[in-house]
Amino acid sequence: MSNRIFNFSAGPCTLPLPALEKAQAEFVDYQGTRMSLIEMSHRGEHYDKVHHDAMAAIRDVLSVPDSHDILFIQGGATLQFAMVPLNLLSDDKTAEFLNTGTWVKKAIADAEKLGPIRITWNGETDNFTRMPASDEYQVGDDAAYVHICGNETIGGIEYHEYPDTGAAPLVSDMSSHIMSRPVEWNKLALAFAGAQKNLGPAGMALVIIHKTLLKNCRDDLPAYLAYKTHAGKDSLYNTPPVFAIYMMKLTVDWVKEQGGLAKMEKRALARSGALYDTIDRSEGWYRCPVDAASRSRMNVCFRLPTEELEAKFIAEALEANFSGLKGHRSVGGCRASMYNAMPVEGAEQLAEFMVKFKQNNA
């Protein structure tokens, strides 16, 4: 099918066409069972294989070391804003945050209802236009963990290298850049990601947790909210989101076929580079509001000279086969979200469109 639109949505977002087509081909009659995967028992052999193959594929493609467990949990990334402090905080410990924008603020809002928190670094004064340098904050001795957002989807800023938090466990919200580059597992005690960007459709979060941290998690929580429950049952404690996990498996398989994380990173650099170069060469007509050193490879945010021109740009782009370019309603402007399944040509063609749009409207 060649008439697909270039979908620059922030998530849900474009997914690999081969994964969609495979799902379509086997949807109604799953591997000769005369029923679809979403109609059969999650305790049966067919789903069991999907489930464990999906876990193995994640471990393989993301190079998750044996020191870490892989969990599939419903509730999206948002539930993790509560589950992380519920599981890791205790009365004598503090949850620390490097506040880099909307998604860390949401995590702070949930954690402060559950225990002591500290905002160790605050990017609010800079309008969340950059990630902190390592000498700009000091993690306390009483830190239960340090929470970061690896890539701020709305602000368009990304850590190009993860902070080193020493003895304090580092927790990263990787929702919008997981599987787009190799992961620094040696620094990470817990990583979580809502699925609906690089992993597949919405319906779950992927949680990857160091076994030592897991051992120290609280035991006195309602069952579903405890990481130990999911780890102890291979994420089959209750009915899992079978379709989301199945699609994730197909998506991860596609990444492997394409050459894995190194290839994904190369493509992300090519896509985002095409747009940032266009912005930088426009003599200020297009303006990227974020610090050059923190520019996101997944979400390229930019402004035009006026809001009227931005509205015109988004409308004309849609006619030209580029959708989803409106910035988040909280910040306005334009945003091109380019996850793994966005072809490099999509970004290159958008860059050409931007050049022409400027010529016609400057």
Task: Find the shortest distance in angstroms from Cβ 153 to ligand PMP.
Answer: 3
Catalytic residue at 228?
no
Q: How far is CA 92 from CA 85, 116, 143, 240, in A?
A: 13, 8, 9, 35
Q: Tell me which stretch binds ligand PMP (CB under 6 A): 72-80, 182-190, 248-256, 286-294.
A: 72-80
Distance CA(300)–CA(251), nearest Å, equals: 23
Q: Which candidate in 69, 110, 173, 253 is catalytic?
A: 173
Catalytic residue at 215?
no
Q: Kindly state whether residue 194 participates in binding ligand PMP, applying the rule CB under 6 A.
A: yes
**Nearer to ligand PMP by C-beta: 76 or 358?**
76
- Quickly count: other Cβ atoms within 10 Å of residue 62's Cβ: 23
Site string for ligand PMP, 101-120 (x = CB under 6 A): --x-----------------
Catalytic residue at 197?
yes
- Quickly count: other Cβ atoms within 10 Å of residue 275's Cβ: 22
**Nearer to ligand PMP by C-beta: 69 or 173?**
173
Is residue 110 a contact partner of residue 144, using CB atoms and an 8 Å limit?
no
Q: Kindly state whether residue 156 participates in binding ligand PMP, applying the rule CB under 6 A.
A: no
**Nearer to ligand PMP by C-beta: 298 or 354?**
298
Q: Binding ligand PMP by CB under 6 A: which of 11, 132, 163, 327?
A: 11
Task: Find the shortest distance in angstroms from Cβ 82 to ligand PMP.
Answer: 11
Task: Find the shortest distance in angstroms from Cβ 184 to ligand PMP.
Answer: 17
Distance CA(309)–CA(14), nearest Å, equals: 26
Residues that bind ligand PMP (CB under 6 A): 11, 76-78, 103, 149, 153, 173, 175-176, 194
Q: Which residues are catalytic?
A: 103, 173, 197
